[in-house]
Amino acid sequence: MNNSYPAILAIETSTQACSVALRINGEIVYAEEAGQNVHSQVVLSQVQSLLNKAGKPLSALDAIAVGNGPGSFTGLRIGVGVGQGLAFGSKAPMIAICSLAALALSSPIDAEVIAASDARMGEMYWARYRKQGSELIELSAPAVCAPQDFARDMPGDTSGHLNRQLVGNAWQTYWAHLPELVRTHFVCPEPVLPSAAMVLTLAESEFIQGNVIDAKRFEPLYVRNNVAKKKAEQGAN
């Protein structure tokens, strides 16, 4: 590990891809495996493999970063649980990185990025960001919707749509169900999943700013549950 960077271990398990990342000698090194129900089988071995490559014990870590969602309920519980266990073991704080932000950072160009992942049940998780290099500005908070309803949250003026970049795996899955407005002004991108490498890049900036969380207080971001709770509260009023 290079002393100019904080020693942060990053974990991303919000989709079918399970990945872990660590910066070693100034370079981000990561392990990734995709498949159904692989997370619990591989994540700890991925962690140990990277620590061995770095030649550092768990106690040498400055923080544990986890992509906290939105995403697969099971995947998030595994990633957050493992992250908390490692944080308790290393006595290091945790850093929460939105999995959609990690996805947005994978955009090949600096632009307004709309990141969307398949939420299953005919829905998609999405959020908008402004990407500039390795920095992101959140333009709209993570939300969940049916693909046919996506355009309701898009600005009516379509003149700037060509300056936007789509990233994620929801677009290809639901392309035929998206409103004509979207299909007219965008090209369907290749599916991409969030990775621990992007989580680590964002976490390094958060660490420098002091945005860390005690492991006991770390929670997954369940956008679908938040929406259901909000609707229940509105119905009670």
Percent of the chain with pLDDT over 90: 81
Is residue 179 a contact partner of residue 148, using CB atoms and an 8 Å limit? yes
pLDDT confidence of residue 151: 77
Whole-model pTM: value is 0.90
Domains 8-99+194-232 and 107-185 share a fold: yes
Q: Which of 47-56, 75-84, 116-125, 219-228 has the lowest mean pLDDT?
A: 219-228
How many CB atoms are closer than 10 A to CB 37? 11
pLDDT confidence of residue 181: 84
CATH number for the domain whose boundaries are 8-99+194-232 = 3.30.420.40
Count of residues making up the chain: 237
- pLDDT, tens digit, for every residue of 109-139? 999 999 999 999 999 999 999 999 999 999 9
Q: What is the mean pLDDT of residues 19-26?
A: 96
Domain ranges within the chain, ordered by starting residue: 8-99+194-232, 107-185
The residues, any chain, with a CB within 8 Å of residue 40's CB and separated by 6 or more, are: 78
User: Which CATH architecture is the domain 107-185 placed in?
Assistant: 2-Layer Sandwich (3.30)
pLDDT confidence of residue 37: 86
Q: What is the mean pLDDT of residues 159-173?
A: 81
* Residue 235 pLDDT exceeds 70: no
Confidence of residue 171 (pLDDT cuts 50, 70, 90): very high
Burial class (CB in 10 A: 0-12, 13-18, 19+), 165: buried
Percent of the chain with pLDDT over 70: 89
